[in-house]
Amino acid sequence: MPWFKKSKSEKSAQNKMRDDIWIKCQSCGAHIFKEDFNNNHKVCPKCNWHGKMTAYERIGLTLDSGTFKEINESLSPADPLSFVDAKGSYQEKVANAKSKTLLNESIVTGTGKIDGIDVAIGVMDFRFLGGSLGSGTGEKILLAANYACENHIPYIVFSASGGARMHEGILSLMQMAKTCAAVARLDEKKIPYISVLTDPTTGGVSASYAMVGDLNLAEPGALVGFAGRRVIEQTIKQKLPDDFQTSEFVQQHGFIDMVIHRRDMKSTLHKILSYYNR
């Protein structure tokens, strides 16, 4: 028996220090200095696994410095059903999400520039109730699309979502049609709408505005699909390929136009927008 044992508090402090310094890649398992990981835009330098970004981190990476202006920041979820489940009320979940993320909804919308080109932008944040699509989310997407329509500027949406928000019932599902109608108005005015799918983009989001872009782009290795892998396997009674529902697999089957590394996303968007602006 060892003559010296660390107390629980000492072990906890040591683990916290380790977590502050290192991050473990969820793909290859490599241990990476957290500072190096963050400086590499949260991409593993060994296997190129793309970690999740917050909405504001992605905005900072995509738009020219100092050009972002947020719109409709105060919009937040409603609770039309007074929803309660075994884990608590919807209102409590929303309050916790707001406290954790300092956001009012699962998407941040605004305007800015990409290498000098004016754009409207929406960026989903998975930390807010799994990036779920609620009535507030859909309303913000609609209003940003309306702004793009009125000012005749391209609209870009980065999706990161587990799907429609069950706490709002049919009002959540209605956002699928509402957001697609907003995109259709952009199409009528020949205004570019570019959809960027990040990990994950699933459920009602993948079945609506995320897949109807003039161009659908995605980050490498992103989970893109509607129903979950296990549900599909149980339904069709077949084993699915290992790379099923990755962005690369979805691209091979014609649903995504390009898979773009995070470091190249801004320059790729600029090239696309430059073509539209000719």
Q: What is the CATH number of the domain that holds 134?
A: 3.90.226.10
User: Does 3 map to a domain?
Assistant: no
Residue with structure tokens 């330098």? 45
Q: Are residues 19 and 57 both part of a single domain?
A: no
Give the pLDDT confidence score for residue 18 in this predicted structure.
59
The C-alpha atoms of residue 271 and residue 157 are separated, in whole angstroms, by 17
Q: Are residues 105 and 164 in the same domain?
A: yes
Residue 55, token pair as written in the block: 């909405």
Are 226 and 251 in the same domain? yes
pTM of the predicted model as reported, rounded to 2 decimal places: 0.91
Q: Cα–chain-centroid distance for residue 232?
A: 23
Ramachandran region, residue 269 (left: φ > 0; alpha: ψ -120 to 50; beta: rest): alpha
The arithmetic mean of pLDDT across residues 63-72, rounded, is 98
In sequence order, the 6+-apart residues with CB closer than 8 A to the CB of 88 are: none
Percent of the chain with pLDDT over 70: 93
Model pLDDT, residue 32: 93
> Could you tell me if 18 and 114 lie in one domain?
no
Q: Are residues 60 and 31 in the same domain?
A: no
Assigned domain for 21 exists: yes
Name the nearest CA neighbour of 247 among 159, 157, 137: 159
Total domains present in the chain: 2
CB 121 within 8 A of CB 59: yes
| 137 lies in the same domain as 204 | yes
**pLDDT: is 103 or 17 the higher one?**
103
Rounded-to-integer distance, Cα 116 and Cα 150, Å: 19
Range 49-66 average pLDDT? 97
pLDDT range class, residue 116, cuts 50, 70, 90: very high
3-class secondary-structure state, position 87: coil
**Confidence bin at 15 (pLDDT 50/70/90):** low
Task: List pLDDT tens digits, range 226-248.
Answer: 998 999 999 999 999 989 999 99
What is the identity of the amino acid at 259? V
36 and 101 share one domain: no
Which residue has tokens 């060994």?
46
What is the arithmetic mean of pLDDT over 268-277? 92
Structure tokens at 214: 């003039």
Residues 202 and 76 occupy one common structural domain: yes
- Give the pLDDT mean for 67-84: 96
Interval 249-261 mean pLDDT? 97
Q: What is the pLDDT of residue 6?
A: 59
As a whole number of angstroms, the distance between CA 59 and CA 109 comes to 10
Task: Please tell me whether residues 30 and 154 are part of one structural domain.
Answer: no
Q: Is residue 152 part of a domain?
A: yes
- The one-letter code for the residue type at 93 is K
For 100-105, what is the mean pLDDT? 98
**Of 14-23, 80-89, 101-110, 226-235, which range is least confident?**
14-23
CA-wise closest residue to 273 among 151, 59, 119: 119
Does the pLDDT of residue 17 top 50, yes or no? no
Name the H helices within 22-79.
Answer: 34-39, 55-62
Within 63-216, residue ranges assigned H as helices are: 90-101, 135-151, 170-188, 203-206
Q: What angle separates helix 265-276 from helix 55-62, to the nearest 10 degrees?
A: 60
Q: What is residue 276's predicted lDDT score, i.e. its pLDDT?
A: 84
Sign of dihedral through CA atoms 103, 107, 113, 119?
negative
pLDDT, the chain, mean: 93
Tokens 């296997």 correspond to what residue? 47
Structural domain boundaries, residue 36: 8-49
My answer on whether omega of the bond before 200 falls inside 30° of 0, hence cis, is yes
Give the pLDDT confidence of 169-226 residue by residue, as tens digits: 999 999 999 999 999 999 999 999 999 999 999 999 999 999 999 999 999 999 999 9
Say if residue 159 is in the same domain as residue 259: yes
pLDDT at 109 over 50: yes
